[in-house]
């Protein structure tokens, strides 16, 4: 289809171009813009009426002038999907970045993605063993879950994400995940780190990468995760794959969203982020899950860096309100030299309850996990007290808990970057560490479990 | 002449402006070639501003807009129970049949199955004078609920004919003298409260089986409660517990802008779970509305109205209905999103200036009433609130707290310690105890209010003592205060904490709650006595039978066993005196 080219731009502002006197243009329609030097940019319609059209330009509006030619392509944004996506590296707008051929479409899929009918969903309940004790025991990952990493700059979230991508498997199964990796505004160095590791382990052949780096267009970041999720849905629901989507860094995504909102002079919500950011993020995160009658699944592992290490910042806050838990990385633990520096206290896996226990992990998992948490939480709180009054003021129970909090960090949390612990190993480790606390203080464990697994020597 | 067809002038997300159409405010219109459903929310001269309940991508200016003459309404009648709807009452099951697993657009679906035949049993007879709200017959809709067929409000007359038998919901089961046909289905505009004769002051608690709620901060049938809390603090688990165990006869559960999987969980679980009050599957008394966070925001805005109208309809049949809305903040955000597209002057934090009045109007639809037919029915509303960053100084929390009489404040700190339910006992409140005390005295124990006062006093004292402990450590406190700390710990760990997922502990009857509270006070009294006679605090606290008493609540039959366990504990505590 050859469509008409308009040269009716009236205003250019931030990433937005305003034009008038067009034929009826569809909401969400895809646009190309030809600059005077012949180069092309891409965009999408954000607002349309008889009188004016607003276009958001993915590559930014630099060098666009009022003479630029605008074409409306008659369709909303679609990704060419195919089984051949696997093994490919694409840029943030879905074009090959690996020098390979264009993807020959088996199908063209709308990247906005339709909502899964809640009636058609199937509750996720398959335990994924990540081999990381803190996660497997305390914030268990479930196939089909969306579980973000809340991190901050300078912390080893990438190592953790990669370790999980490498080790994640269903208990007693070799079934592997296809990784869909989506980079949004990360540095070339970070990207290389991911790519090299995926290459090293051979996972790259079973991965699709969508890459928008720090020096790539900021507005393009708004479509990159949508492309990644569209690919993931296609692979999961048309080709039965279990897909693990890792995207990083959601913070850059949200900043692009803020940029558009500001350019449109929208009334901002908290800290300048748009009032619709919750809905916008939900349209990404909710694309995780399992649906009835399909074999595949989408598990999401978004990474975000909390500005100022602040968990109440709108980005982690709104994410936490949508995702099914979070894994929080702690600067304090990192500085204490502990890897993985996961602070289990604010971390949570909401789907854990339904996927652990006798039939899936072990009968003691729930109670052990509760007890580990409770004891560690109290022990850590006591550290503050001890700093003021000294250990002498503590009674016997408090002393034991205080000591336990150190043991917990040193023996339970700490593990090597390629140490892959089975869930049995993790739970056995818990029992052995808990033996440093008198049985009578372990009120969250019941008699039978203590008799069965307890390692107390009376 | 009025014009019922116009054209689209502008599209901005879920907001579409049309010209050339004579629409009324809140009228339902059909937008574009695909006839997407929308509702007129503003009129400027020739322009009608429409919120569209489906995705608007790909729609162009110039496409047609049709007015329907209807306002946004729900279909009410047999078939509501066990259903799950989206925000505009389209059954999700039907949508799956038509669209597959992903929700696309442009599909209409009736809220009720119009074909299904129900066994209508007439209870009125020809010749009876009837008025709006009067019951003329019944349908056994589920094993639990008898659906009462009412004359629609505002209709009255003398019955010419009425028949028992098999009917679908659009067939006339009764005809009045003036020819008016009464069908089992009636429609009601969602933004209008259904009428009743008068409101009563609530005097009966909604028994929830959650100890901290029933015992310390009770909610009345017909009351309204707000549950604010940061993410992951337990709003949904609490709401689901209430949907499972509260002694309402009917539950309307609205998932408003929240997770898809949470609704799936309810769908999986409720048909299997048995209602402790009737012995029937919970699903039989439940209506669900699921407009998840990624479904269209305009339909999210409508979902709470759809839900409360259904709740009122069952109230009018004389039922006690409980409605949970999770989360009202997402509803408020939908209002904000639409309002900002309308370029309205924003109030606080970008919310529209009418936010607090909309909240008030919604919660006002709760209440215990005398129905039009003289019966007694109630709608209890429990709204979750999701304040940004957990800070309740924000407009939705504040707007809610100004109206509701019960505040169950969830606390991130408690959730982090895995103290569940993470309801903060120091800042939560209920303004109902005065009106409910008589019920507790009559039905549970004559000293119930006094025991409650004693338990809450201990918790307050503990909070004060903890401040001192933070400075000097607990060993520096006098021994009687150390005992108080132990008693308070027992209240927290044994009484307030309740595992929402434990098959036994999740539900605690009020009698059991009372027995547990008494057991704690007995421990305190016996410990004091023993220590006065020379026993050591440590020995008293560590008697094994106390741990047993606490652990045993996870086993069936606790209410029967608790007396014996308390006796064992008393014996052992007395023993600690001799041991010294
Ligand atoms: N009463 C309870 N018993 C046991 N666990 C609970 C209880 N309440 C909450 N939890 C735990 O806390 C988690 C989060 O609770 P929930 O999903 O209700 O939070 P929420 O306040 O609804 O969060 P959001 O605002 O993000 O939806 C649950 O998955 C569960 O692990
Ligand atoms: Mg929730």
State the pLDDT at residue A171. Answer: 76
Does ipTM exceed 0.95? no
**pLDDT score of B36:** 92
Mean pLDDT, residues B247-252 taken together? 95
Distance CA A6, CA A292 (A): 46
Q: CA-based angle B98:B99:B100, to the nearest 5?
A: 105
Distance B237 CA to ligand 1 centre (A): 5
Contact B420, B189 (CB under 8 A): no
Q: pLDDT tens across A87-125, in order?
A: 999 999 999 999 999 999 999 999 988 899 999 999 998
pLDDT of residue B579: 65
Q: What is the pLDDT of residue B458?
A: 97
Query: What are the Cα distances from residue B239, in Å, to B225, B234, B242, B377, B500?
Result: 11, 8, 5, 21, 10
* Residue B18, beta-bridge partner list: B8, B48
- Note the pLDDT of residue B580: 61
Closest-CA distance, B217 to chain A, in angstroms, reads 26
Pocket test for ligand 1, best of B210, B212, B230, B236 (most atoms within 8 A of CB): B236
Give the span between the Cα atoms of B182 and B184, in whole angstroms: 7
Q: Which residues in chain B have their CB less than 8 angstroms from residue A48's CB?
A: 10-12, 60-61
Which residues in chain B have their CB less than 8 angstroms from residue A283's CB?
A: 293-294
Q: Which of A22, A113, A117 to mutate to test the interface with B (most CBs of B within 10 A)?
A: A117
- Coil, strand or helix: which one is B28? strand
H-run or E-run covering B504: none
In this complex, the residue of A118, A314, A320 whose CB is nearest that of residue B260 is: A118
Q: How far is CA A291 from CA A111, A120, A285, A299, B247, in A?
A: 19, 6, 15, 12, 33
pLDDT tens track for B160-179: 999 999 999 999 999 999 99
3-class state of residue A359 by DSSP:
coil
B349: pLDDT strictly greater than 90: no
Q: Which of B33, B101, B471, B485 to mutate to test the interface with A (most CBs of A within 10 A)?
A: B101
Question: Between B349 and B384, whose confidence is greater?
Answer: B384
Contacts A24 to B, Cβ<8 Å: 60-63
What is the number of residues in chain B?
Answer: 580
Q: How far is CA B283 from the centre of its chain?
A: 15
Chain B residue with CA closest to A376: the answer is B417
Distance B449 CA to ligand 1 centre (A): 30
Mutate to test the pocket of ligand 1, among B229, B230, B234, B505 (most ligand atoms within 8 A of CB): B234
- What is residue A402's predicted lDDT score, i.e. its pLDDT? 95
The Cα–Cα gap between B187 and B74 comes to 6
Q: What are phi and psi of A330, to 5 degrees?
A: -110, 130
- Contact at 8 Å (CB) between B137 and B173? yes
CB of B6 sitting under 6 A from ligand 1: no
Which of B61, B294, B474 is facing A48, going by the closest CB pair?
A: B61
Using the Cα atoms of residue A223, residue A225, residue A226 and residue A231 in order, give the sign of their dihedral.
positive
Mean pLDDT calculated for residue range B63-89: 94
pLDDT band, residue B1 (cuts 50/70/90): very low
Reported in sequence order, the residue ranges of B304-436 that DSSP labels E, i.e. its strands, are 320-326, 367-370, 376-385, 406-407, 429-430
Strands B376-385 and A40-49: unpaired
The phi, psi pair for B423, rounded to 5°, reads: -85, 125
Q: Of the ranges B86-100, B139-153, B223-237, B337-351, which one carries the lowest mean pLDDT score?
A: B337-351
Which residue has a Cα nearest atom 29 of ligand 1? Answer: A350
pLDDT at res. A1: 47
Q: A275 vs B333: CB contact, 8 Å cut-off?
A: yes
B501 ligand 1 Cβ < 6 A: yes
Atom of ligand 1 nearest to the CA of A321: 26
User: Both ends of chain A: CA-CA distance in Å?
Assistant: 83
Alpha helix locations (H) across A47-156? 133
Residue B2 — pLDDT band, cuts 50, 70, 90?
low
Token duo for residue B354: 């009418």
Instruction: Give the Å distances, CA to CA, from B315 to A113, B140, B370.
Output: 39, 17, 10
Alpha-carbon torsion, ordered A401, A406, A411, A413, to 10 deg: 100
Average pLDDT over residues B388-409: 94
Task: Name the phi and psi angles at B451, rounded to 5.
Answer: -65, -40
Q: How much is the mean pLDDT over chain B?
A: 93
Q: How far apart are CA A81 and CA A177, in angstroms?
A: 18
- Higher local confidence (pLDDT), A174 or B327: B327
pLDDT at B270: 87
**Which of residues 5 through 34 in chain A touch B, CB cutoff 8 A?**
24-29
Chain B residues close to A354, C-beta within 8 Å = 265
Please check the confidence at residue B508 and state whether its pLDDT lies above 80: yes
| Per-residue model confidence as pLDDT tens digits over A41-90 | 999 999 999 889 999 998 888 889 999 999 999 888 999 999 999 999 99
Residue A353 alpha carbon, nearest atom of ligand 1: 31
3 state DSSP class of A353:
helix
Cβ within 8 Å, pair B417-A348: no
Query: What would you report as the CA-atom Rg of chain B, rounded to the nearest whole angstrom?
Result: 27
Residues 6 or more apart in contact with residue B453 via CB below 8 angstroms: none
User: Is B295 at the interface with chain A, CB within 8 A?
Assistant: yes
Mean pLDDT computed over B9-29: 91
Any A CB within 8 A of B564 CB: no
Establish whether residue B102 lines the binding site of ligand 1, counting it when its CB lies within 6 angstroms of any ligand atom.
no
- A168 burial (CB, 10 Å; 0-12 / 13-18 / 19+) is buried
Residue of A nearest to B295 (CA): A115
**Cβ–Cβ < 8 Å for A228, A94:** no
Residue tagged 């393009």 (tokens): A220
Question: What beta strand segments (E) does B414-470 contain?
Answer: 429-430
For the CA atoms of B236, B239, B244, B245, what is the dihedral angle to 10 degrees?
A: 130
Per-residue pLDDT, averaged over B40-52, amounts to 91
* CA A87 / ligand 2 centre spacing (Å): 37
Instruction: Please state, in angstroms and rounded to a whole number, the distance separating the CA atoms of residues A202 and A352.
Output: 30
Instruction: Kindly compute the dihedral angle of the four CA atoms of residues A214, A255, A350, B233, in this order, to the nearest 10 degrees.
Output: 140
A396 φψ region: left (φ > 0), alpha (ψ -120 to 50), beta (else): alpha
Question: Which tokens belong to B371?
Answer: 């129905």
Residue B122 has pLDDT above 70, yes or no: yes
> Consecutive 10-residue runs of chain A (458 residues): their mean pLDDT?
82 91 88 92 92 90 91 91 94 92 92 92 93 96 96 94 88 79 93 91 91 91 95 95 93 93 84 90 96 94 94 94 96 96 94 90 94 92 85 86 96 95 96 93 87 79
| Phi, psi dihedral angles at B373 (to 5 degrees) | -95, 15
Average pLDDT over residues B113-127: 95
User: Taking CB atoms and an 8 Å cutoff, what residues of chain A touch B263?
Assistant: 118, 121
Residue A102 Cα distances to A80, A81, A82, A90, A234, angstroms: 9, 11, 11, 10, 17
* Separation between Cα atoms, residue A362 and residue A360, nearest integer Å: 6
d(CA B95, CA B536): 68
pLDDT score of B457: 96
Question: Of B260, B346, B544, which has the smallest distance from its Cβ to A267's Cβ?
Answer: B346
């Amino acid at each position: 289809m050859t469509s008409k080219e308009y040269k009716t731009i009236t205003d250019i502002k931030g990433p937005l171009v305003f034009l008038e006197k067009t034929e009826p243009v569809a909401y969400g329609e895809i646009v190309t813009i030809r600059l005077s030097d012949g180069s092309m940019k891409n965009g999408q319609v954000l607002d349309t009426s008889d009188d004016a059209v607003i276009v958001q330009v993915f590559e930014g509006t630099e060098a666009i002038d009022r003479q630029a030619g605008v074409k409306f392509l008659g369709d909303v944004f679609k990704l060419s999907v195919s089984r051949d996506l696997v093994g490919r590296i694409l840029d943030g707008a879905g074009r090959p970045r690996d020098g390979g051929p264009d993807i020959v479409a088996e199908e063209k899929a709308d990247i906005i993605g339709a909502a899964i009918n809640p009636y058609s969903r199937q509750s996720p309940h398959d335990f994924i063993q990540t081999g990381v004790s803190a996660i497997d025991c305390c914030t268990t990952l479930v196939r089909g879950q969306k579980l973000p990493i809340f991190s901050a700059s300078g912390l080893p979230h990438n190592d953790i994400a990669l370790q999980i991508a490498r080790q994640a498997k269903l208990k007693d199964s070799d079934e592997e995940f296809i990784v869909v990796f989506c980079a949004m505004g990360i540095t070339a160095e970070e990207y290389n780190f991911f790519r090299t590791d995926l290459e090293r382990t051979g996972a790259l052949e079973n991965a699709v990468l969508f890459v928008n780096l720090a020096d790539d267009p900021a507005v393009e970041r708004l479509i990159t995760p949508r492309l990644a999720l569209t690919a993931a849905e296609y692979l999961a629901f048309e080709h039965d794959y279990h897909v693990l989507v890792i995207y990083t860094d959601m913070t850059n995504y949200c900043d692009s969203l803020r940029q558009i909102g500001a350019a449109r002079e929208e009334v901002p919500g908290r800290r300048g982020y748009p009032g619709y950011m919750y809905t916008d993020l939900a349209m990404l995160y909710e694309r995780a899950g399992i649906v009835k009658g399909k074999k595949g699944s989408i598990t999401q592992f978004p990474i975000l860096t909390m500005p100022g290490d602040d968990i109440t910042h709108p980005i982690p806050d709104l994410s936490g309100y949508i995702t099914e838990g979070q894994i929080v990385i702690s600067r304090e633990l990192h500085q204490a030299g502990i890897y993985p520096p996961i602070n289990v206290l604010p971390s949570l896996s909401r789907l854990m309850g339904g996927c652990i226990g006798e039939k899936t992990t072990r009968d003691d998992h729930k109670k052990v996990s509760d007890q580990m948490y409770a004891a560690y939480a109290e022990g850590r709180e006591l550290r503050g007290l001890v700093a003021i009054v000294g250990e002498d003021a503590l009674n016997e129970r408090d002393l034991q808990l205080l000591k336990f909090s150190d043991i917990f960090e040193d023996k339970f949390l700490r593990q090597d970057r390629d140490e892959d612990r089975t869930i049995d190993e993790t739970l056995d480790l818990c029992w052995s560490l808990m033996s440093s606390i008198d049985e009578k203080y372990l009120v969250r464990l019941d008699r039978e479990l203590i008799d069965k697994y307890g390692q107390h020597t009376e | 002449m009025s014009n019922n067809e116009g054209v689209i002038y502008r599209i901005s997300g879920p907001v579409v402006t049309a010209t050339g159409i004579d629409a009324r405010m809140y009228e339902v219109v059909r937008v574009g070639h695909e006839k997407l459903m929308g509702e007129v929310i503003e009129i400027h001269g020739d322009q009608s501003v429409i919120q569209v309940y489906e995705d608007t991508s790909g729609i162009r200016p110039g496409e047609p807009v049709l007015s329907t003459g209807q306002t946004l309404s729900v279909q009410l009648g047999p078939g509501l129970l066990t259903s799950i709807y989206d925000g505009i009452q389209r059954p999700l099951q039907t949508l799956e049949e038509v669209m597959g697993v992903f929700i696309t657009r442009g599909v209409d679906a009736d809220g009720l199955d119009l074909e299904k035949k129900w066994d209508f049993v007439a209870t009125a007879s020809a010749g009876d004078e009837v008025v709006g709200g009067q019951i003329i017959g019944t349908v056994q809709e589920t094993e639990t609920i008898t659906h009462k067929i009412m004359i629609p409000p505002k209709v009255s007359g003398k019955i010419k004919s009425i028949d028992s038998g098999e009917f679908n919901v659009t067939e006339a089961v009764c005809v009045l003298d003036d020819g008016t046909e009464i069908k089992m289905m009636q429609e009601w505009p969602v933004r209008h409260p259904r009428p009743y004769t008068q409101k009563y002051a609530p005097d009966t608690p909604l028994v929830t089986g959650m100890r901290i709620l029933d015992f310390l901060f009770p909610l009345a049938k017909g009351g309204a409660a707000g549950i604010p809390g940061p993410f992951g603090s337990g709003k949904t688990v609490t709401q689901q517990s209430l949907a499972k165990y509260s002694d309402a006869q009917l539950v309307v559960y609205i998932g408003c802008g929240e997770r898809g999987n949470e609704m799936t969980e309810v769908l999986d679980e409720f048909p299997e779970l048995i209602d402790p009050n009737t012995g029937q599957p919970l699903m039989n008394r439940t209506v669900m509305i699921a407009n998840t966070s990624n479904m269209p925001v305009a339909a999210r805005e409508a979902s709470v109205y759809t839900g409360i109208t259904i709740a009122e309809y069952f109230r009018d049949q004389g039922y006690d209905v409980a409605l949970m809305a999770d989360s009202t903040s997402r509803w408020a955000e939908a209002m904000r999103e639409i309002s900002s597209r309308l370029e309205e002057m924003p109030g606080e934090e970008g919310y529209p200036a009418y936010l607090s009045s909309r909240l008030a109007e919604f919660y006002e639809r709760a209440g215990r009433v005398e129905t039009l037919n003289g019966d007694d029915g109630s709608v209890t509303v429990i709204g979750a609130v999701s304040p940004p960053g957990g800070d309740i100084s924000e407009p939705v929390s504040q707007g809610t707290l100004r109206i509701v009489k019960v505040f169950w404040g969830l606390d991130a700190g408690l959730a982090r310690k895995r103290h569940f339910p993470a309801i903060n006992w120091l800042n939560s409140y209920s303004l109902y105890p005065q009106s409910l005390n008589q019920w507790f005295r009559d039905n549970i124990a004559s000293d119930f209010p006094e025991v409650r006062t004693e338990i809450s006093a201990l918790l307050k004292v503990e909070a004060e003592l903890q401040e001192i402990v933070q400075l000097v450590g607990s060993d520096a406190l006098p021994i009687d205060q150390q005992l108080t700390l132990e008693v308070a710990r027992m209240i927290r760990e044994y009484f307030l904490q309740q595992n929402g997922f434990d098959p036994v502990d999740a539900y605690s009857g009020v009698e059991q709650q009372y027995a547990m509270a008494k057991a704690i006070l007995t421990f305190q009294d016996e410990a004091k006595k023993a220590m006065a006679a020379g026993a050591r605090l440590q020995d008293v606290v560590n008697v094994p039978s106390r741990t047993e008493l606490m652990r045993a609540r996870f086993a069936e039959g606790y209410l029967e066993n608790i007396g014996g366990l308390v006796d064992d504990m008393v014996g052992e505590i007395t023993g600690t005196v001799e041991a010294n």
